[in-house]
Structure 1
Amino acid sequence: MLVTPFFDTHENIKLLTKSGFSEEQAEGQVKVVSNLIENNLATKTDLQQLENKLTIKLQEMDNRMQKIESKMLTEILHSRSETIKWVAGMMVAQATVFAAILKIFSKA
């Protein structure tokens, strides 16, 4: 039977026999519980494998976030240059209209 720091099989067999279970019944119950613990308890290797998988996934997410950040920065810079071109064009148009108005009123 499995002996883990969480489950003392001998102590539990004694407890069950004192509670009215036969020796055979107590051993059977303790074996079932021991198997459940053994099959569901994560080992250091299990935890290390999980940590490695999580590290890889976090790195993948970090890489994707960096790509998204780079794309967003490119889009922001493109939008900024388009805005500057538009404002400059409007300034030229306003200056042209203002010059035309001055020319019209200066002849008058």
Structure 2
Amino acid sequence: MSVTAFDTHRFIQTLRRANLSEEQAEAIAEAFREAIGEEIVTKDDLRAEIESAKGDLIKWIAGLLLAQAVLVSALVKLL
């Protein structure tokens, strides 16, 4: 996962220049800092998960095809 640097002081100054009160600016900065502090998924993370899911899906399909072939062979021998 990637880490994002966040300058809280600069963010608060920007909000203050937009005529927000000190309390509002600090509250927004805190909420924003908490939001970006959570796990952020990057495109590379998503690609890795998709590749993993593709591999799992291929294994399932191959297993089902093999099971189907065995079942058909067994039924042909019975008839």
Note the residue ranges of structure 1 that are not aligned, 5 or more in a row. 3-8, 81-108
Q: How many positions carry a matched residue from both structures?
A: 69
Cα RMSD for the two superposed structures: 2.9
Rg comparison, structure with higher value: 1
Note the residue ranges of structure 2 that are not aligned, 5 or more in a row. 1-5
Give the number of the structure with larger relative contact order, counting CA–CA contacts within 8 Å between residues 6 or more apart. Answer: 2
TM-score, normalization by structure 1? 0.48
Counterpart in the other structure of 1:51: 50
**Deviation at 1:50?**
0.8
TM-score, normalization by structure 2? 0.61
More helix by share: 1
SS at match of 1:45: helix
Work out the CA distance in 2 between the residues paired with 1:33 and 1:75.
62
Q: What percentage of residue pairs aligned between the two structures are identical? A: 17
Instruction: Map 1:35-50 onto structure 2 (within 5 A).
Output: 35-50=34-49
Provide, for residues 70-108 of structure 1, a one-character-per-residue CA deviation record: whole Å limited to 9, x for no partner. Answer: 11111221221xxxxxxxxxxxxxxxxxxxxxxxxxxxx
